[in-house]
Amino acid sequence: MTTQTDFQALTDGLAKITPAIHLVQDSPPSITNAQYDVLRHVLHDVGGQPALPVEYVEKEEEAWEMNTYVTCECLSWRGPWNAEMRRRAEVDLGETQYFGLPYYARWATVAAKFLVDKGLVSLDELSVKIDEVRTRLEEASR
C-alpha cells in the first residue's frame, strides 16, 4: 500500500527538476531512473502512481455538472475546441487546481479560460455573468 511518505517523495522529486530550481546538467543530459519517472509523470494519468486510498462514492450528477458537460460539448460541436484541448488545458492547471477542483469544475475553469484566451468572451463579460449567477444562487438559498 502506498503511503503519504511515498507520495511526498514523488512530488519532492518533481520539485527538484522544475525550472524554478534549475540544476546545471551536462550536455547531452543524463538522468537517473528516478528523474525519468518524475519527468514522465502526467497529472491525468495516475495509474500506478503512489496515492492515498480514495473511497468511491456513486452519485447523481448535479445540474451545474450536466450544464458544464453540455456547454463543453457544444463548444466542441461548434468548433472552437475539442476534447483533447480540454484535457490538455486541465493538465496545464497544475497539480493544486487539478486535484483540488471537482471533475466538472475543472471543465468549467478551462472552458472559461479558453473563451477568454481566444477573445470569444471578455474578462468583463465573464465577471458580470459570474456576479449574476452568484446573486441568483444567493437569492435562491434564502
Residue 16: phi and psi, rounded to 5, are -70, -20
Quote the pLDDT of residue 108. Answer: 92
Q: Which residue has the higher pLDDT, 44 or 133?
A: 133
Contacts of 95 (CB under 8 A, 6+ apart): 11, 43
Side chain identity at residue 138, one-letter code = E
Ranges of each domain in the chain: 1-58, 63-141
What integer is the mean pLDDT of 2-27? 63
Q: Provide the b/e sequence for 37-60 (b: ≥16 CB within 10 Å).
A: ebeeeeeeeeeeebeeeeeeeeee
Percentage, residues of the chain above pLDDT 70? 72
Quickly name the fold that domain 63-141 has: Cyclin A; domain 1 (1.10.472)
Quote the pLDDT of residue 88. Answer: 83
Q: Is 103 known to be catalytic?
A: yes
Between the alpha carbon of residue 72 and those of residues 6, 64, 125, the distances in Å are 36, 12, 18
Of 39, 44, 40, the closest CA to residue 88 belongs to: 44
The residue with cell 460541436 is 77
* Residue range 93-115, pLDDT digits in tens: 877 888 888 889 999 999 999 98
Quote the pLDDT of residue 84. Answer: 83
∠ at Cα 133 (130, 139), nearest 5°?
Answer: 140
Quote the pLDDT of residue 10. Answer: 66
Q: Among residues 56, 69, 98, 103, which one is catalytic?
A: 103
Q: Which residue has the higher pLDDT, 76 or 4?
A: 76
Report the predicted TM-score, pTM, of the whole model to 2 decimal places: 0.62
Of 123, 117, 122, 93, the closest CA to residue 105 belongs to: 93
* Residue range 45-98, pLDDT digits in tens: 665 666 677 788 888 989 999 999 998 888 888 777 888 888 888 888 877 888
Quote the pLDDT of residue 24. Answer: 63
Q: Which residue has the higher pLDDT, 69 or 7?
A: 69
End-to-end CA distance of the chain: 46
